[in-house]
Amino acid sequence: MIEEHSFGPVPITCHSFNKDCSQLALSLNSNTVDIYKKSGQKWEKLQSLEEHSERVTSIDWAANTDRIVTASADRNAHVWTRDSTGQFRPTLVLLRIDRAATVVKWSPLENKFAVGSGAKLVSVCHFEPEHNWWVCKQIKKPFKSTVTCLAWHPNNCLLAVGATDFKARIVSAYLKEADEKPAATCWGGNMKFSNVMAEYTNGGSGWIRDVAFNGDGSLMAWVSHDSSVSVANGSTQTLAVLRFAMLPMLTCCWLSDTALVAAGHDCYPVVFRYEAGSASLSIAGQLNMSADQSGGSTKMTAKTMFGNMDRMATEDSVEKLTTVHQNSIK
């Protein structure tokens, strides 16, 4: 069952839903973030958050505490909290980065968030009540290039980080100001801040586009720009890699401990099956339900055929893709 919602002809750069998916924060390739509320079948605009001076690169809505964090190419991040009138107001965040922020994610307990940036580091921010701002500690050492994607482990302390240096890593983002000391996980026991728990490369070289932990945090999956998907298993210490035939995937997320869905340049989501025993990945199916049952290409009348020949010097033209999405899915 697919619901289709359009917000205009502009690409949606980033978006995030609130807890019950009744509200949506999105950015249409601009400096502003729009908050929409669902009313019936339509979305009505509630507010426009205008604090950033450059393109907004990432938005995350904290489900339980109802706060939004936005990160932008202007090297800033802002945390937005609702005031008494229901409007969102920004709070200062000190990121101390000198390059664009690329991705931001709230931690599971929503007391910290991590920001990846082109400055080759991850800033882990927590709130300091006496000054009413968010301060950060930076993880610099392992990263040799821009950080592109982040995912939090359920224990609120470990972070999976993918970067353009072709490696996916698990680092510790344990802050004694914000967390209690975490128990050892299958990725190791020493969780001193910025310690690298694991580092993986899938043998090829493609930018890591997205990284995701499964429900209990024992599996880390990532999709890379060399048309591959990989899963690292912390309990069995194995790495499964699948190089597939399609265009690269841009985003992935776990459906269960054995199923992973990913989508990207081919404009339709694909489901992958992961088997822990044999450490193998395979394609299980695709979610490519065509909106137009006739397959997308309309019947060629003589008029359209000559019209196309005139306009585009071709006899038949496929202007609409057969997939639901008409462009890359991020």
Partner 1 sequence: MSKRTTNAKFRTVDVDQYNEDNFEDALLDGDSAGPDASGDGYLAVSDAELSKLLADNKISEALAALLAKPPVNVKSSAVKDQAANQVLRVLMHTKQSDIDRVVQALDEAHVDTLMKYVYRCFELVKENHALLLVWHEKVLARGQIGSIVRALSDRKRV
Q: Which residues bind partner 1 (CB under 8 A)?
A: 144-145, 165-166, 201, 204-206, 225-228, 243-248
Strand partners, 116: 103, 122
C-beta of 127 vs 143, nearer to partner 1? 143
Pairing of strands 238-243, 249-254: unpaired
Q: How far is the CB of 5 from partner 1 (least distance, A)?
A: 30
Residue 224 structure tokens: 């890379």
Q: How far is the CB of 303 from partner 1 (least distance, A)?
A: 34
C-beta of 155 vs 224, nearer to partner 1? 224
Separation CA 140–CA 127 (nearest Å): 21
Q: How far is the CB of 244 from partner 1 (least distance, A)?
A: 5
Q: How far is the CB of 142 from partner 1 (least distance, A)?
A: 11
Provide the 10 A C-beta neighbour count for residue 118: 19
Q: How far is the CB of 280 from partner 1 (least distance, A)?
A: 14
C-beta of 17 vs 244, nearer to partner 1? 244
Residue 42 structure tokens: 């339509």
Answer yes or no: are the C-beta atoms of 52 and 72 closer than 8 Å. yes
C-beta of 243 vs 273, nearer to partner 1? 243
C-beta of 112 vs 167, nearer to partner 1? 167
Provide the 10 A C-beta neighbour count for residue 139: 24
C-beta of 196 vs 246, nearer to partner 1? 246
C-beta of 155 vs 164, nearer to partner 1? 164
C-beta of 141 vs 144, nearer to partner 1? 144
Q: How far is the CB of 208 from partner 1 (least distance, A)?
A: 12
C-beta of 27 vs 138, nearer to partner 1? 138
Separation CA 299–CA 131 (nearest Å): 66
Q: How far is the CB of 189 from partner 1 (least distance, A)?
A: 27
Q: How far is the CB of 165 from partner 1 (least distance, A)?
A: 7
Residue 134 structure tokens: 């968010």
